[in-house]
A = this chain, B = another copy of it.
Amino acid sequence: MARVLLIEDDPNVRDALALALKGREHEVESAASGEEGLERLARFAADVVVLDLMLPGIDGFEVCRRIRAAASTSIVMLSARGDDFDVVGGLEAGADDYVVKPVRPQVLEARIRAVLRRTDGVPSPVESYGALCVDRASLTVSRSGRQVALPPMELRLLLYLSAAPGQVFSRQQLLESVWEHDYLGDSRLVDACVQRLRAKIEDVPAQPRYVQTVRGFGYRFGPV
């Protein structure tokens, strides 16, 4: 019925859910960590990702953001923590649904179906922001209809930022998520990349419309 990627570190839960979903004619692929999940996703074109929050290595929220940056796959979060605070945080990180463990497979499946029903009508991963067009499938960017060639890092940065328009990211967050650097310390690397990106996508780089500076905090993609 659907292609499901299950990211969950507990083998018992993972196997139980995988089995149940397969029994309902879904195609299921499993991963035990965030890293593994992201890697699988690159090759297994999932319709929906079922994502545990408590993962070894990079946590569920970060995995969620990275999935959002790269693809338009739907995400159902799965967590043992059901406080209002957690739920709101999860949904704001970009999840389509948030389910509290333990969960009966029937319920999980019903929620997956509800999420997919919503997605069906939205085929195009092309997002357009003003004159800027970002196509996450072909990884191309165009500005006022004319295609813009972006080097890898600038493209990754743009994808990441534009996946959450309006949200402010610190340089540190960007170094970790986009560059996958883990060292702490001051670096003007992000700044430099932002400048180069602006030179290519902004009409007036000195008054950026898309990639904006938030003094003292970091950068944000739009809104104007």
A55-92 Cβ-contact flags toward B at 8 Å (1 or 0): 00000000000000000101000000000100110011
For the complex, is A2 an interface residue (Cβ under 8 Å from B)?
A: no
CB-defined contacts of A137 to chain B, threshold 8 Å: 92, 164, 166-168
A215 to B137, CA, bound (A): 15
Q: Say how far A182's CB is from chain B's closest CB, in angstroms.
A: 19
For the complex, is A145 an interface residue (Cβ under 8 Å from B)?
A: no
For the complex, is A106 an interface residue (Cβ under 8 Å from B)?
A: yes
For the complex, is A43 an interface residue (Cβ under 8 Å from B)?
A: no
B121 touches A165 (CB 8 A): yes
For the complex, is A152 an interface residue (Cβ under 8 Å from B)?
A: yes
A84-118 Cβ-contact flags toward B at 8 Å (1 or 0): 10011001101111100000101100110111011
Report the nearest B residue to A216, measured CB to CB: B152
B124 touches A166 (CB 8 A): yes
For the complex, is A148 an interface residue (Cβ under 8 Å from B)?
A: no
CB-defined contacts of A153 to chain B, threshold 8 Å: 216
The A188-220 residues at the B interface (CB cut-off 8 A) are 214-217, 220
For the complex, is A125 an interface residue (Cβ under 8 Å from B)?
A: yes
CB-defined contacts of A168 to chain B, threshold 8 Å: 137-139
Closest 9 CB pairs of A and B: A152-B216, A138-B166, A91-B110, A88-B110, A91-B114, A124-B166, A137-B167, A118-B118, A139-B168
CB-defined contacts of A125 to chain B, threshold 8 Å: 88, 92
Given A139-B214, A168-B139, A215-B152, A107 contacting B122 (CB threshold 8 A): no
B111 touches A122 (CB 8 A): no
For the complex, is A11 an interface residue (Cβ under 8 Å from B)?
A: no
Report the nearest B residue to A119, measured CB to CB: B118
Instruction: Please pick, from B107, B117, B223, the residue contacting A88 in the complex, using a CB distance under 8 A.
Output: B107
Report the nearest B residue to A95, measured CB to CB: B114
CB-defined contacts of A139 to chain B, threshold 8 Å: 168, 214, 217, 220
Report the nearest B residue to A114, measured CB to CB: B91
